Amino acid sequence: DIQMTQSPSSMSASLGDRVTITCQASQDIGNNLIWFQQKPGKSPRPMIYYATNLANGVPSRFSGSRSGSDYSLTISSLESEDMADYHCLQYKQYPYTFGAGTKLELK
Protein backbone atom coordinates (compact mmCIF):
# COMPACT_ATOMS: atom_id res chain seq x y z
CA ASP A 1 0.00 0.00 0.00
CA ILE A 2 1.10 3.58 -0.61
CA GLN A 3 1.88 5.37 2.64
CA MET A 4 1.00 9.03 2.90
CA THR A 5 3.08 10.67 5.61
CA GLN A 6 1.37 13.88 6.63
CA SER A 7 2.99 16.63 8.69
CA PRO A 8 2.59 18.26 11.04
CA SER A 9 0.01 16.28 12.98
CA SER A 10 -1.10 19.48 14.63
CA MET A 11 -0.20 23.12 14.52
CA SER A 12 -1.32 26.44 15.87
CA ALA A 13 -1.17 29.63 13.88
CA SER A 14 -2.35 33.23 14.07
CA LEU A 15 -4.86 34.94 11.85
CA GLY A 16 -3.13 36.21 8.73
CA ASP A 17 -0.32 33.65 8.92
CA ARG A 18 0.83 31.66 5.93
CA VAL A 19 0.31 27.96 6.71
CA THR A 20 1.68 24.94 4.88
CA ILE A 21 0.75 21.28 5.42
CA THR A 22 2.63 18.51 3.63
CA CYS A 23 2.04 14.92 2.57
CA GLN A 24 4.85 12.72 1.37
CA ALA A 25 3.98 9.74 -0.78
CA SER A 26 5.91 6.48 -0.40
CA GLN A 27 5.52 5.71 -4.12
CA ASP A 28 4.81 7.68 -7.25
CA ILE A 29 1.24 8.94 -7.27
CA GLY A 30 1.57 11.43 -10.08
CA ASN A 31 -0.77 14.29 -9.28
CA ASN A 32 -3.52 11.98 -8.02
CA LEU A 33 -3.97 13.69 -4.67
CA ILE A 34 -6.83 15.49 -2.99
CA TRP A 35 -6.75 17.77 0.05
CA PHE A 36 -9.80 17.80 2.31
CA GLN A 37 -10.92 20.12 5.07
CA GLN A 38 -13.02 18.63 7.84
CA LYS A 39 -14.76 20.48 10.65
CA PRO A 40 -16.11 18.72 13.77
CA GLY A 41 -19.18 16.65 13.06
CA LYS A 42 -19.03 17.37 9.33
CA SER A 43 -18.10 15.49 6.20
CA PRO A 44 -14.73 16.10 4.55
CA ARG A 45 -14.84 18.91 2.01
CA PRO A 46 -12.52 18.68 -0.99
CA MET A 47 -10.34 21.78 -1.24
CA ILE A 48 -7.74 20.81 -3.84
CA TYR A 49 -7.92 17.98 -6.37
CA TYR A 50 -5.36 16.57 -8.76
CA ALA A 51 -2.73 18.13 -6.48
CA THR A 52 -3.06 21.71 -7.64
CA ASN A 53 -6.64 22.39 -8.74
CA LEU A 54 -8.94 24.46 -6.57
CA ALA A 55 -12.29 22.76 -5.97
CA ASN A 56 -15.54 24.60 -6.62
CA GLY A 57 -16.28 27.37 -4.14
CA VAL A 58 -12.93 27.18 -2.35
CA PRO A 59 -11.35 30.56 -1.52
CA SER A 60 -8.30 31.53 -3.54
CA ARG A 61 -6.13 31.76 -0.39
CA PHE A 62 -5.91 27.96 -0.61
CA SER A 63 -3.44 26.42 -3.03
CA GLY A 64 -1.81 23.07 -3.71
CA SER A 65 1.64 22.29 -4.99
CA ARG A 66 3.97 19.38 -5.63
CA SER A 67 7.71 18.91 -5.37
CA GLY A 68 8.70 15.38 -6.25
CA SER A 69 6.90 13.08 -3.81
CA ASP A 70 5.99 15.95 -1.48
CA TYR A 71 2.58 17.54 -1.81
CA SER A 72 1.65 20.71 0.00
CA LEU A 73 -1.49 22.58 0.91
CA THR A 74 -0.90 26.26 1.59
CA ILE A 75 -3.22 28.83 3.10
CA SER A 76 -1.80 32.20 2.20
CA SER A 77 -3.48 34.24 4.92
CA LEU A 78 -5.20 32.29 7.66
CA GLU A 79 -8.78 33.15 8.54
CA SER A 80 -10.77 31.98 11.54
CA GLU A 81 -13.02 29.78 9.38
CA ASP A 82 -9.95 27.78 8.29
CA MET A 83 -9.56 26.16 11.71
CA ALA A 84 -10.22 22.51 10.97
CA ASP A 85 -8.63 19.15 10.32
CA TYR A 86 -6.96 18.65 6.96
CA HIS A 87 -6.43 15.31 5.22
CA CYS A 88 -4.67 14.26 2.06
CA LEU A 89 -5.74 11.29 -0.08
CA GLN A 90 -3.92 9.51 -2.88
CA TYR A 91 -6.06 7.93 -5.58
CA LYS A 92 -3.34 6.68 -7.87
CA GLN A 93 -3.27 3.10 -6.66
CA TYR A 94 -5.55 0.75 -4.76
CA PRO A 95 -6.17 0.81 -1.92
CA TYR A 96 -6.63 4.56 -1.88
CA THR A 97 -4.92 5.87 1.25
CA PHE A 98 -5.23 8.94 3.42
CA GLY A 99 -2.67 10.82 5.43
CA ALA A 100 -3.13 10.76 9.21
CA GLY A 101 -4.46 14.31 9.26
CA THR A 102 -3.42 17.72 10.54
CA LYS A 103 -5.30 19.61 13.22
CA LEU A 104 -5.04 23.35 12.61
CA GLU A 105 -5.79 25.53 15.62
CA LEU A 106 -5.74 29.19 16.42
CA LYS A 107 -2.77 30.42 18.42
Partner 1 sequence: QVQLQQSGTELVKPASSVKISCKASGYTFTSNYMHWIRQQPGNGLEWIGWIYPGNGNTKYNQKFDGKATLTADKSSSTAYMQLSSLTSEDSAVYFCARGSGYNPFAYWGQGTLVTVSS
In the complex, the residues that contact partner 1 under the rule CB under 8 A are 34, 36, 43-46, 49-50, 53, 55-56, 87, 89, 91, 94-101
8 Å CB contact between 67 and 52? no
Supply the minimum distance, in Å, between the C-beta of residue 105 and partner 1: 16
21 or 99, CB closer to partner 1? 99
Q: Which of 106, 95, 72, 84 lies closest to 3 in space, CA to CA?
A: 95
63 or 87, CB closer to partner 1? 87
Burial of 42 (C-beta count, 10 Å sphere; 0-12/13-18/19+): exposed
Supply the minimum distance, in Å, between the C-beta of residue 35 and partner 1: 11
56 or 80, CB closer to partner 1? 56
Supply the minimum distance, in Å, between the C-beta of residue 2 and partner 1: 11
Instruction: Report the DSSP pairing between strands 10-13 and 102-106.
Output: parallel
8 Å CB contact between 78 and 62? no
